[in-house]
């Protein structure tokens, strides 16, 4: 049996290293599936700390290189190297990992955080810059209150408590991409606190969480802050600055140190990303640069109370000394960096050493983290409330309104798709639909189902089982059949309009056309045939004409005559089950879909006088 | 008299006194006269504002003249826009005649810390301090190099030079005059202030500039402005803060203060002793908070987008990024305050310095709120709770500075801490954001024998007294000044530290 591509796409994740599953696995192993990257690439790279991104190569290339390296590695080792197999390492039994993550994401707003300059992604450099954005003497900030809307939506989607009062602080450090010499952020009074994200088994690769059930990770706070300028390297010595991005609003999401597995960390980042997308809080293309994560990693021995484990982070006590790894630009980077750092810390501790509190870096494809600066070199950011920015007061009416109008969370969408008779798709297909094309695929699917449902109902076919199959069948067609056609090009909902696909499926479900015909129709529409489906069926005489009972009889007679020994078995030895074999023969011989099993069996029994 | 002749008088005066370094650069003659020509007809038609000659402190942005804040790092900087206060004056057809010298970024009390050299208020043997940081603006008005001038007051930078130069210096309530285009020193304290030689001029300029500006996020919105006090009693309750009678107060200043109080009592006002106990901590709090904000506000000067930049590579692995540019661009006092501020904001010190200082700031404000008859309009709850305080006062009257104008020689010998103590009387009103006007009063003739340096020949020099009002009671402060002796007279006897005032023909 053919495994639906989406299922194996997700299944395969558990067997192979985690490289943006929908990108690599679907493309490489599943020719039927769409090779389109589920989340759009963006050239924007988010800068959240002093260190400029070291890798300016496009992320897609990095992924490719990493995958290539992986394959070479597999050849050399004779077996796939599995970073995530660390969890079966006996050392992992001894040492517990603890991770907290800070995720920076770009808010989906029209204007910058403190000026009315418009936000932009790839416009001509330095064309969207207000005086304040480049810190001209005498210029002052103007908080754009509209930026609160996506921020609050994001925080609500992350189950946070929105604070009535929040305020902005200056975080000082010198860097050429930071015009004011400080970043305006929310240090003392963030706008949202105390949220959580629940990771369900279906969020995990293979549908199994490392803790055999749902995992809830607490979110300490969500804060708003400014982005920095973009540095464009002109080797060898020139750095050009594009201030279009300066002061683009960001949110920083800080989790509690409650993550104990690298895969959980990766899944959390991916889930947060999906939640932000669903809440329409963040710009598209987060995965490839609109998102940066910093991770805090510490280890401690399980079941042993060590005086070394005296550290407390965000109120979680008894933890080992942590290190921070900054500027991770992808889900894979998060997972691999944590694994590398986990190994490094255990190595040190097993050799009797001590972990130093320091900031480390990690580049995609490398095996170890690299020390950036130690505690003594740590920047003292000298947080100071910004005297020019009044505290932000958010009314309950706004929060209520945003809560009411918040789009369904990905969890509730998956629940709706998988439970009940409306859609009845598998949870894997549901999460694939959700993940693909920034949610466009899901919208398209919902459209198809709605239209198909209407068509079926208007024909008043009193067959409830038809309705319940509609969702499943539409799911398969939207993901597999249509997905295969879009293999080499970007997704577009207009190429095969949803009502046309619904029309194809309607005829298929009502057994008026064969599956082969349905595929042919899809291909014709995909290739741009402007005719309506009904017209194509009509003009090409595709409609299936059911066999008459005479035709049934003739066919049954012929088959029975061909196999007298089987007939003998049935009549003389009473092996009635062998009737089914004849039914199968009839179905195989008849024009596809013309022979109905129950009718065929009835005719056969009649002829055999059973 | 035509506006052109009127402007020429000031230009001639500026040239004559060029050695005082009143301006960071003298204005271009044609530039000034072109403005005069444009205003002339309007002035003839009776427009009060057309052709008024004003000087602007060099930390207020002007798009057609350099704005340097007297700093090396901005020595060639021209702002792409006009500050709102400048725009308001231009819109009224005033003549902007020069950018005045100052302490770099407003940090100083004598206008000596300037990239363009110190301001001095005497061209002869014993140069005197012009006060600071708006010393250039004060001196320009006092010596008739302009009709009036704008300065900025962060901890006394308008009032102190006004006192030292014998003119009026008004620091309005924080948030009334727009700071858009005013180069920040300590932006929770920075206030645009007004120098002039006459009370009506001060009043008029204040009214002209007292407008809501949506570009300044700290500009008081119209709704709040509407609530500000319109209370104008005929007989005032005048508070005398006993805590200001410090042991280091110069006896001649103390006597001038007492004389003025006596005069006020004779005018029918009521004197009331007032206690402001937090005052003694105000100066320390100010010198923690202002440098802290300064260290932050001045972080933008890195030579990357504008301003001066050090030659060569700045920021090698061995050095700190921008250290070279900032090391060369900032003067010693600015560097001192940046370091001080960076320290008091550092993780190890913030609790003991910055946070404590903020608490003191709140206490200072509460002291004032307890003393005044009218409640603080920014604290609505206290207004509802207290209404008018029966025993409260309308305004406070105290010295502006603890000493008479010092010589530049004595200033040079002072260590920075002693210099900071000059601000002891001006800082509390800054911390609380209150309106304060420094008015000149004559020294008591009895001091002639003991302090002959305060009296030059037959003519008097002046001490500065401060009138402080509740937040938003700016009009009341200006109203109270009318009762001060000599405020409304521009006496021909007046002289500013050895420079005779050649009377400029008034319009």
Q: Note the pLDDT tens digit of each residue in A266-304.
A: 999 988 888 888 888 887 554 545 678 999 999 988 877
Q: What is the pTM of this model?
A: 0.78
Res A463: pLDDT = 66
Looking at 3.40.718.10, 3.90.1300.10, 3.40.50.1980, 2.60.40.10, the CATH number of the domain B3-235+394-497 comes to 3.90.1300.10
Would you say residue A96 has pLDDT above 80? yes
Res A1: pLDDT = 39
Phi, psi (degrees; rounded to nearest 5) at A479 = -80, -50
Q: Are the C-beta atoms of B445 and B454 separated by less than 8 Å?
A: no
DSSP, residue by residue, B259-292: HHHHHHHHTT-EEEEE--TTHHHHHHHHHHHHHH
Which among A131, A141, A174 has the least Cβ separation from residue B217? Answer: A141
Residue whose C-alpha is closest to residue B100's, from B127, B148, B65, B135: B135
Using the Cβ of B310 and the Cβ atoms of chain A, whether some distance falls under 8 Å is answered with no
Residues 6+ apart with CB under 8 A from B293: A384, A387, B184, B185, B186, B187, B188, B189, B341
Banded model confidence at residue A44, pLDDT cuts 50, 70, 90: very low
In chain B, where are the structural domains located?
Answer: 3-235+394-497
Residues 6+ apart with CB under 8 A from B377: B224, B227, B228, B229, B383, B470, B471, B472
Res A8: pLDDT = 36
Per DSSP, helices labelled H in B19-169 are: 29-44, 84-91, 135-142, 159-165
Residues of B noted as catalytic: 57, 133, 157
- Give A-chain residues touching B179 at CB under 8 angstroms: 138, 140
Which among A138, A182, A387 has the least Cβ separation from residue B61? Answer: A138
Tens digit of each residue's pLDDT (9 = 90 or more) over B325-362: 999 999 999 999 999 999 999 999 999 999 999 999 99
Tens digit of each residue's pLDDT (9 = 90 or more) over A191-201: 999 999 998 88
CA of residue A234 relative to chain centroid, distance: 34
What's the CA gap between A265 and A338, in Å, rounded? 8
- Give A-chain residues touching B309 at CB under 8 angstroms: none
Under 8 Å CB pairs connecting chains A and B tally to 98
- Give A-chain residues touching B300 at CB under 8 angstroms: 135, 137, 179-181
Read off the tokens for A66. 């990493």
Phi, psi (degrees; rounded to nearest 5) at A449 = -65, -45
Res A13: pLDDT = 32
Would you say residue A400 has pLDDT above 80? yes
Would you say residue A433 has pLDDT above 90? no
**DSSP class of A511:** T
How large is the greatest C-alpha to C-alpha distance in chain B, in angstroms?
71
Judge: B79–A137 Cβ closer than 8 Å, yes or no: yes
Read off the tokens for B417. 């801490």
Judge: A139–B180 Cβ closer than 8 Å, yes or no: yes
Judge: A134–B305 Cβ closer than 8 Å, yes or no: yes
Judge: A176–B304 Cβ closer than 8 Å, yes or no: yes
What's the Rg (C-alpha) of chain A? 30
Using the Cβ of B213 and the Cβ atoms of chain A, whether some distance falls under 8 Å is answered with no
In this structure, of A187-191, A217-221, A382-386, A528-532, the range with the lowest mean pLDDT score is A528-532
Per DSSP, helices labelled H in A257-379 are: 262-278, 331-350
Would you say residue A65 has pLDDT above 60? no
Banded model confidence at residue A461, pLDDT cuts 50, 70, 90: low
What's the CA gap between A65 and A38, in Å, rounded? 19
What's the CA gap between B80 and A137, in Å, rounded? 10
Would you say residue A411 has pLDDT above 70? yes
Tens digit of each residue's pLDDT (9 = 90 or more) over A559-607: 888 888 888 888 888 888 888 888 888 888 877 667 777 788 888 888 8
Res B364: pLDDT = 96
Res B402: pLDDT = 94
> How close A140 gets to chain B, by Cα (Å)?
6
- Give B-chain residues touching A180 at CB under 8 angstroms: 299-300
Mean pLDDT over residues A198-206, rounded?
A: 82
Q: Can you tell me the ipTM of this complex?
A: 0.94
Q: Are the C-beta atoms of A197 and A217 separated by less than 8 Å?
A: yes
Res B238: pLDDT = 96
Residues from A contacting B (CB-CB < 8 Å) are 131, 134-143, 170, 172, 174-176, 179-182, 241, 380, 382-384, 387-390
Judge: B305–A179 Cβ closer than 8 Å, yes or no: yes
Res A493: pLDDT = 82
Judge: A180–B74 Cβ closer than 8 Å, yes or no: no
Report the residue of A133, A138, A383 to disrupt the B interface, i.e. the one with the largest count of B CBs within 10 Å.
A138
CA of residue A70 relative to chain centroid, distance: 22
Q: What is the mean pLDDT of chain A?
A: 79
Which among A140, A181, A182 has the least Cβ separation from residue B216? Answer: A140
Intervals of chain B under pLDDT 70 = 1, 123-125, 380-388, 456-460, 486-507
Residues 6+ apart with CB under 8 A from A68: none
- Give A-chain residues touching B80 at CB under 8 angstroms: 131, 136
What's the Rg (C-alpha) of chain B? 22
Considering only residues 370 to 429 of chain B, which have any Cβ-Cβ distance to chain A shorter than 8 Å?
A: none
Tell me the percentage of chain A whose pLDDT exceeds 90.
Answer: 26
Banded model confidence at residue A316, pLDDT cuts 50, 70, 90: confident
- Give B-chain residues touching A137 at CB under 8 angstroms: 61, 67, 69, 74, 77, 79, 183-184, 300, 306
Q: Is A470 exposed, middle or buried (0-12, 13-18, 19+ CB in 10 A)?
A: buried
Which among B181, B188, B301 has the least Cβ separation from residue A387? Answer: B188
Segment (H or E) for A313:
strand A311-313
- Size of chain B, expressed as the number of residues it contains: 507
Judge: A172–B345 Cβ closer than 8 Å, yes or no: yes
What's the CA gap between A345 and A362, in Å, rounded? 15
Judge: B300–A387 Cβ closer than 8 Å, yes or no: no
CB neighbours (10 Å) of residue A564? 9
Res A231: pLDDT = 86
What's the CA gap between A455 and A503, in Å, rounded? 8
Banded model confidence at residue A460, pLDDT cuts 50, 70, 90: low
Read off the tokens for B468. 């402080």
Would you say residue A311 has pLDDT above 90? no
**DSSP class of A17:** -
Phi, psi (degrees; rounded to nearest 5) at B61 = -70, 135
- Give A-chain residues touching B69 at CB under 8 angstroms: 137
């Amino acid at each position: 049996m053919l495994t639906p591509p989406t299922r194996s796409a997700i299944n395969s994740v558990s067997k192979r290293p985690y490289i943006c599953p929908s990108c690599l696995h679907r493309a490489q192993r599943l020719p039927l599936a769409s090779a389109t990257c589920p989340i759009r690439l963006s050239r924007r790279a988010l800068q959240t700390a002093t260190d400029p991104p070291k890798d300016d190569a496009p992320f897609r290339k990095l992924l490719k290189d990493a995958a290539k390296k992986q394959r070479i590695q597999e050849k050399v080792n004779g077996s796939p190297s599995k970073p995530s197999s660390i969890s079966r390492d006996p050392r992992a039994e001894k040492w517990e990992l603890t991770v907290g993550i800070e995720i920076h994401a770009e808010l989906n707003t029209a204007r910058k955080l403190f000026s009315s300059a418009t936000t932009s992604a790839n416009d001509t450099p330095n064309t969207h810059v207000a005086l304040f954005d480049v810190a001209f003497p005498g210029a002052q900030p103007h908080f754009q209150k509209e930026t609160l809307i996506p921020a609050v939506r994001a925080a609500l989607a992350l189950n946070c408590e929105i604070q009535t009062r929040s305020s902005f602080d200056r975080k000082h450090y010198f860097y050429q991409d930071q015009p004011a010499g400080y970043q305006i952020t929310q240090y003392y009074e963030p706008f949202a606190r105390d949220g959580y994200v629940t990771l369900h088994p279906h969020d995990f690769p293979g549908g199994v969480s490392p803790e055999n059930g749902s995992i809830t990770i607490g979110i300490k706070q969500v804060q708003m802050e400014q982005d920095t300028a973009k540095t464009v390297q002109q080797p060898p010595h020139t750095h050009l600055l594009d201030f279009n991005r300066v002061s683009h609003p960001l949110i920083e999401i800080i989790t509690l140190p409650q993550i104990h597995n690298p895969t959980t960390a990766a899944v959390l980042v991916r889930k947060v990303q999906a939640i932000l997308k669903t809440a329409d809080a963040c710009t598209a293309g987060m995965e490839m640069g609109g998102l940066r994560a910093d991770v805090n990693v510490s280890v401690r021995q399980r079941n042993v109370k060590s005086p070394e484990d005296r550290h407390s982070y965000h109120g979680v006590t008894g933890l080992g000394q942590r290190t921070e790894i900054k500027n991770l630009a992808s889900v894979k980077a998060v997972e691999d960096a944590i694994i590398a750092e986990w190994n490094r810390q255990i190595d040190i501790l097993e050799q009797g050493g001590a972990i130093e509190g320091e900031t480390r870096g990690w580049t995609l494809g490398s095996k170890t983290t690299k020390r950036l600066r130690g505690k003594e070199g740590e920047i003292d950011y000298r947080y100071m409330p910004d005297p020019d920015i009044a505290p932000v007061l958010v009314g309950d009416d706004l929060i209520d309104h945003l809560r009411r109008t918040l789009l369904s969370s990905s969890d509730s969408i998956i629940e709706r798709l998988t439970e009940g008779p409306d859609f009845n798709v598998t949870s894997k297909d549901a999460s694939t639909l959700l993940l693909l094309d920034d949610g466009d695929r899901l919208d398209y699917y919902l459209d198809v189902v709605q239209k198909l449902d209407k068509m079926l109902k208007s024909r008043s076919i009193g067959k409830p089982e038809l309705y319940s199959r509609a969702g499943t069948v539409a799911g398969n067609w939207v993901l597999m059949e249509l997905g295969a056609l879009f293999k080499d090009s970007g997704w577009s909902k207009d190429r095969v309009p949803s009502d046309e696909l619904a029309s194809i499926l309607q005829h298929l479900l009502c057994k008026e056309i064969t599956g082969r015909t349905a595929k042919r129709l899809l291909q014709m529409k995909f290739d741009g045939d402007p005719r309506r489906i009904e017209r194509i069926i009509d003009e090409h005489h595709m409609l299936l004409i059911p066999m008459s009972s005479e035709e049934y009889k003739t066919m049954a007679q012929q088959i029975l005559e061909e196999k007298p020994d089987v007939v003998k078995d049935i009549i003389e030895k009473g092996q009635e089950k062998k009737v089914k074999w004849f039914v199968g023969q009839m179905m195989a011989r008849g024009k596809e879909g013309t022979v109905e099993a129950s009718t065929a069996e009835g005719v056969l029994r009649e002829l055999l006088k059973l | 008299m035509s506006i052109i002749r009127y402007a020429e008088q000031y230009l001639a005066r500026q040239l004559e006194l060029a050695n005082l370094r009143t301006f960071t650069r003298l204005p271009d003659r044609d530039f000034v006269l072109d403005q005069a020509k444009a205003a002339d007809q309007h002035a003839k038609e009776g427009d009060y504002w057309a052709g008024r000659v004003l000087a602007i402190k060099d930390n207020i942005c002007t798009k057609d003249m350099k704005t340097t804040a007297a700093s090396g790092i901005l020595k060639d900087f021209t702002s792409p826009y006009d500050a709102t206060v400048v725009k308001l004056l231009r819109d009224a057809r005033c003549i902007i005649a020069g950018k005045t010298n100052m302490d770099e970024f407003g940090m100083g009390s004598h206008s000596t810390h300037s990239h363009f050299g110190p301001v001095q208020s005497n061209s002869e043997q014993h140069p005197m301090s012009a006060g600071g940081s708006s010393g250039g603006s004060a001196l320009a008005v006092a010596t008739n190099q302009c009709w009036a001038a704008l300065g900025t007051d962060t901890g006394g930078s308008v009032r102190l030079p006004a006192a030292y130069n014998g003119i009026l210096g008004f620091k309005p309530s924080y948030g009334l005059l727009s700071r858009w285009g005013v180069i920040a020193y300590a932006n929770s304290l920075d206030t645009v202030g007004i120098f002039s030689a006459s009370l009506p001029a001060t009043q008029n300029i204040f009214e002209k500039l007292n407008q809501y500006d949506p570009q300044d996020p700290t500009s008081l919105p119209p709704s709040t402005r509407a609530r500000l006090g319109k209370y104008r009693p005929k007989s005032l309750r005048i508070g005398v803060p006993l805590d200001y009678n410090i042991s280091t107060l110069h006896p001649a200043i103390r006597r001038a203060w007492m004389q003025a109080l006596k005069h006020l009592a004779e005018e029918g006002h009521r004197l009331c002793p007032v206690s402001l106990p937090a005052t003694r901590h105000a100066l320390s709090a100010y010198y923690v908070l202002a440098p802290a904000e300064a260290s932050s506000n001045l972080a933008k000067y890195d030579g990357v987008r504008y301003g001066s930049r050090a030659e060569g590579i700045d920021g090698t692995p061995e050095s700190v990024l921008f250290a070279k540019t900032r090391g060369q661009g900032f003067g010693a006092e600015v560097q001192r305050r940046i370091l001080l501020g960076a320290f008091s904001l550092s993780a190890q010190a913030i609790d003991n310095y910055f946070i404590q200082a903020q608490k003191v700031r709140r206490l200072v404000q509460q002291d004032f709120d307890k003393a005044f008859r009218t409640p603080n309009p920014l604290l609505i709850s206290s207004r509802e709770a207290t209404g008018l305080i029966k025993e409260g006062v309308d305004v406070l009257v105290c010295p502006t500075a603890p000493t008479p104008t010092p010589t530049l020689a004595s200033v040079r010998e002072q260590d920075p801490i002693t210099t900071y103590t000059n601000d002891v009387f001006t800082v509390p009103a800054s911390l609380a954001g209150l309106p304060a006007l420094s008015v000149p009063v004559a020294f008591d003739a009895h001091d002639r024998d003991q302090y002959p340096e305060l009296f030059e020949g037959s003519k008097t020099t002046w001490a500065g007294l401060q009138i402080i009002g509740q937040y938003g009671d700016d009009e009341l402060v200006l109203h109270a000044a009318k009762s001060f002796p000599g405020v409304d007279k521009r006496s021909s006897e007046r002289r500013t530290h050895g420079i005779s005032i050649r009377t400029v023909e008034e319009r």
